[in-house]
Amino acid sequence: MKKFEEKTINSEQIFEGNVVNLRVDEVTLPNGETSKRELIKHPGAVAVIAITEENKIVFVEQYRKALEKSIIEIPAGKLEPGEHPIAAAIRELEEETGYTTNGLHFVTSFYTSPGFADELLHLYITDELVKLKEPKSLDEDEFVEVIELTLDEAKDYVAEERIHDAKTNYAVLYLHALGR
Amino acid sequence: MKKFEEKTINSEQIFEGNVVNLRVDEVTLPNGETSKRELIKHPGAVAVIAITEENKIVFVEQYRKALEKSIIEIPAGKLEPGEHPIAAAIRELEEETGYTTNGLHFVTSFYTSPGFADELLHLYITDELVKLKEPKSLDEDEFVEVIELTLDEAKDYVAEERIHDAKTNYAVLYLHALGR
C-alpha cells in the first residue's frame, strides 16, 4: 500500500558496506512539505527455532559489537546474494549449531526496524534435528557458543534480560503459545 | 557478558544524522585476526499495545520510506534525548492515536537488529485508554491513520503479511498467548 506516500526528490548515497548501505533521501510529504529520511539497506535475514530430541531449544551466544556485549540469540544470519531464505536458514543452522534438518517450517516474517531499515527477517522452526558428522565452519569473523535450554529456562533468561533480542523473544513466546 | 569480545582498534565515524549515526569499527577478533564492523547507533524506541474498551487493538498505518510502502504497526516511536521510556510511550500513544492512559505496564524489551544496530525497543501494554479532549499533534513529518482491529482480525493481517513488523507481530502473538 502507498498511503501517505513520500516521493523521492533527491537521494544521496552515504555509505556502501559489506552488511549495510546508508542513503539519505529528501522526500515530499503528503502535505507538500519536504523532509529527509535516513535509510539503511540490508540484505535480509533468517532465523531458526531449533528444538532438540530432548525438547531443548538451541541458542547461540555471540559478541555483538553494536551492543559491546555478548547476547544469546536463536541461530540466525544474513541472506547471501540470490540465496533462498530456506537455504540460508539451513546454512546458518549448520554453521552455527552443528545440526542440520530435513523438516523446516515457516513461522512468520517481519521487518525488524522499519523506521530506518529495510531488513526483513524470515523465521523458521524445526524439531527434526540431525547432528552433522562433519561440522561446517563459521564465517571467518564469527565466534559463537551453542547453548541448549528448556523453554522454562529460556523464559527465565527473558525475564532476566539475558535474552532480549526481537527474534529470540518472539521465538520463546511462540513456543510458550504453542504449549510445548 | 563479554564472551568472544571484539576489541576496537580503530573507529571511523561515517555519518551523524537525526535518527541514526553510522560508524565502522576495526576490531581484533578472539583468534587475533582483525575484521570490520558496520555499526548503527540509534536512540532506542518504545511501542505500546493499546486495547480499547471494545477489546480492540489500536494500530497505526504509516508510510515507511525504508520499505517504500505503508505498513500497519502498533503505536511506536524513538526516545527523545533524556526521555524515560514510559514517558515516551505515553507521548507516542497520545500523538499517534488520540488516546492517553493512566495504566501502562511493561511487557518486555528487545534489541531489534543486534547484528548491526544498537536499537533497544521497550514494549508496554495498556487497556486503560482515555480519549484525549484535545488531540496532540504529530511530528511535522509524520502522517498516520489509526486502525482498530480485533485480535482475530489482527491475526488474519499477520497471516496475510499486512502486518509484518517485529514489535507488532510480537504484540499480536502476546495477546494470543494471553488468551484475550
**What are the chain A neighbours of B140 within 8 Å (beta carbons)?**
33, 35
Same domain, B35 and B52: no
The model's pTM: 0.96
**Residue A116 to residue B166, Cβ atoms within 8 A:** no
Return d(Cα B103, Cα B69) in angstroms, integer. Answer: 33
Give residue for cell 522452526.
Answer: A125
Measured in angstroms, the CA of A57 and the nearest CA of chain B are apart by 19
**Residue A116 to residue B170, Cβ atoms within 8 A:** no
Residue A115 within any structural domain of the chain: no
* pLDDT score at A1: 73
Measured in angstroms, the CA of B96 and the nearest CA of chain A are apart by 14
Same domain, B21 and B36: yes
Decide if B107 touches A, using CB distance below 8 A: no
Question: Is residue A146's pLDDT more than 80?
Answer: yes
Tally Cβ neighbours within 10 Å of residue B22: 23
A residues 122..141 contacting B (CB < 8 A): 140-141
Nearest to A69 among B2, B30, B71 (CB): B2
C-alpha distances in Å from residue B75, one per residue of A52, A145, B19, B59, B178:
37, 36, 18, 6, 20
Residue A56 within any structural domain of the chain: yes
Specify the pairing of strand B120-126 against strand B45-50. parallel
Residue B114 within any structural domain of the chain: no
What confidence category does residue B139 fall into, taking pLDDT thresholds of 50, 70 and 90? confident
Same domain, A128 and A82: yes
Question: Is residue A141's pLDDT more than 90?
Answer: no
Domain that residue B172 falls in: 46-109+121-178
* Digit-coded pLDDT (tens) for A54-98: 999 999 999 999 999 999 999 999 999 999 999 999 999 999 999
What confidence category does residue A139 fall into, taking pLDDT thresholds of 50, 70 and 90? confident
Which are the contacts of A53, defined by CB distance < 8 A and separation ≥ 6?
A: A129
Same domain, A14 and A102: no
Same domain, A105 and A86: yes
Measured in angstroms, the CA of A4 and the nearest CA of chain B are apart by 6
Element (H, E) at A153: helix A151-159
Question: Is residue B1's pLDDT more than 80?
Answer: no
Same domain, A50 and A36: no
CB A74 within 8 A of CB A172: no
Q: Above pLDDT 90, what percent of chain B?
A: 90
**Structural Rg of chain A based on CA atoms:** 19
**What are the chain A neighbours of B29 within 8 Å (beta carbons)?**
141, 143
Burial class of residue B41 (count of CB atoms within 10 Å of its CB; 0-12, 13-18, 19+): middle
Question: Is residue A176's pLDDT more than 70?
Answer: yes
- What is the total count of domains within chain B? 2
Return d(Cα B4, Cα B29) in angstroms, integer. Answer: 8
Residue A2 within any structural domain of the chain: no
* Digit-coded pLDDT (tens) for B22-76: 999 999 999 999 999 999 999 999 999 999 999 999 999 999 999 999 999 999 9
> Which chain A residue has its CA at the smallest distance from B61's CA?
A3
Q: What is the ipTM of this complex?
A: 0.96
Residue A82 within any structural domain of the chain: yes
CB A94 within 8 A of CB A136: yes
Same domain, B166 and B138: yes
Same domain, B144 and B97: yes
Return d(Cα A70, Cα A163) in angstroms, integer. Answer: 10
Dihedral Cα A115, A88, B115, A180, nearest 10 deg: 90
Full DSSP string of B107-144: EEEEES-TTTB--EEEEEEES-EEE-SSPPPPPTT--E
What confidence category does residue A136 fall into, taking pLDDT thresholds of 50, 70 and 90? confident
* Residue of B21, B69, B71, B110 to mutate when probing chain A, most A C-beta within 10 A: B110
* pLDDT score at A180: 64
A residues 43..72 contacting B (CB < 8 A): 45, 61-67, 69-71
**Residue A169 to residue B110, Cβ atoms within 8 A:** yes
Length of chain A: 180
What confidence category does residue B140 fall into, taking pLDDT thresholds of 50, 70 and 90? confident
What average pLDDT does range A47-53 have in this prediction? 98
**Residue A66 to residue B18, Cβ atoms within 8 A:** no
C-alpha distances in Å from residue B84, one per residue of B64, B106, B122:
25, 13, 10
Average pLDDT of every residue of chain A: 95
Query: Does A26 participate in catalysis according to the annotation?
Result: no
Return d(Cα A102, Cα A50) in angstroms, integer. Answer: 12
Same domain, A65 and A16: no
Give residue for cell 569499527.
Answer: B25
CATH number at residue A139: 3.90.79.10
Distance from the Cα of residue B80 to its chain's centroid? 13
Decide if A36 touches B, using CB distance below 8 A: yes
Q: Give me the catalytic one of A68, A140, A160, A161.
A: A140
Residue A1 within any structural domain of the chain: no
**Residue A69 to residue B1, Cβ atoms within 8 A:** yes
**Residue B141 to residue A24, Cβ atoms within 8 A:** no
Question: Which residue, A111, A4, A77, A47, is CA-closest to B121?
Answer: A111
**What are the chain B neighbours of A67 within 8 Å (beta carbons)?**
111, 114, 118
**What are the chain B neighbours of A115 within 8 Å (beta carbons)?**
19, 45, 64, 66, 76, 78
Return d(Cα A34, Cα A31) in angstroms, integer. Answer: 9
Residue B1 within any structural domain of the chain: no
Same domain, A100 and A15: no
Residue A116 within any structural domain of the chain: no
Q: Which three cell numbers stand for residue A152?
A: 522454562
C-alpha distances in Å from residue B167, one per residue of A118, B96, B108:
15, 16, 10
CB A122 within 8 A of CB A44: yes
Same domain, A30 and A75: no
Same domain, B28 and B88: no
Return d(Cα A178, Cα B63) in angstroms, integer. Answer: 33
Nearest to A38 among B3, B19, B29 (CB): B19
Handedness of CA A160, A166, A170, A171 (dihedral sign): negative
